[in-house]
Amino acid sequence: MSESIFPIRAQYRTILPVLALLGGCAAQVPAVEVTRFHAGDAVARSGGFLIEGADGLSSDSIEFRTYAGAVSQQMQRVGFTDETGLKTFAPSQYIARISYGRDVRSAAPVSRSPVSVGVGGSTGSYGSGLGLGIGINLSGKPKDQIDTRLSVQIRRRADNAAIWEGRAQTIAKEGTPASQPGIAAAKLATALFSNYPGKSGETITVP
């Protein structure tokens, strides 16, 4: 059994209450772009699984447990059984390999001066007048954007064949609730497994 497999079921118990709380914040997260691939109508909808990190991703971090917990919750919702920590005589039927990432997209620079000054005046035989107008741009510097991604690949353990794969992505402004890893993980996993298994090769937007 791979050492990177999510170690004990008890760790999910610390994550799932957080995911339930984050579910109430889902509406704050921007739409998610989702693409799924699979072999056809015979895609598995049940069976035991374990979660492991793809490409040597460590399972020791809180971030990994957050994403793994979100994926586990959604896979169980569609009919699979999480066998993490269970004492079974046979290895799990499936392996769910997950990967995730976050990138910062720099905002475009402000193209105009934050302060503008306008001067108007008039003169005449009986006096003069001078007007000074100041306009201040209070919008501030545009915020950077956080690009968050989640990928899941379900493989059959018996022959290591990939039976389903999905990728999800969302972009949110830095500093907003939607840019936080926990909220993004719950939203991405929910969108990824919506209407599972989905139409193969089609990219959709999930609100």
Domain with 180, as residue range(s), is: 10-107+145-199
Q: Does 56 fall in a domain? A: yes
Q: Which residues pair with 172 in a beta bridge?
A: 146
149: domain CATH number?
3.30.160
Q: What is the pLDDT of residue 140?
A: 57
With residue 79 as reference, give the H or E element that holds it: none
Contact yes or no for 57/25 (Cβ under 8 A): no
Q: What are phi and psi of 54, to 5 degrees?
A: -80, 155
Q: What is the pLDDT of residue 90?
A: 86
Q: Does 112 fall in a domain? A: no
- Residue 139 binned pLDDT confidence (cut-offs 50, 70, 90): low
Q: What is the pLDDT of residue 87?
A: 82
- Predicted model pTM: 0.72
Q: Does 180 fall in a domain? A: yes
Q: What is the pLDDT of residue 203?
A: 97
Q: What is the pLDDT of residue 191?
A: 98
Token code pair at residue 203:
């990219």
* Structural domains in the chain (count): 1
Q: Does 30 fall in a domain? A: yes
159-170 mean pLDDT:
96
The span from the CA of 151 to the CA of 189, in Å, is 9
* Range with the largest mean pLDDT of 20-29, 115-124, 129-138, 148-157: 148-157
Longest Cα–Cα distance in the chain: 105
- Residue 28 binned pLDDT confidence (cut-offs 50, 70, 90): low
The span from the CA of 76 to the CA of 3, in Å, is 23
List pLDDT tens digits, range 192-206.
Answer: 999 999 999 999 999
Would you say how long the chain is, in residues?
207
Q: Does 121 fall in a domain? A: no
More confident position, 23 or 166: 166
Closest-CA residue to 92 (of 59, 46, 41, 54) = 46
List pLDDT tens digits, range 30-84.
Answer: 899 999 999 876 799 999 999 999 987 888 899 999 999 999 999 999 999 999 9
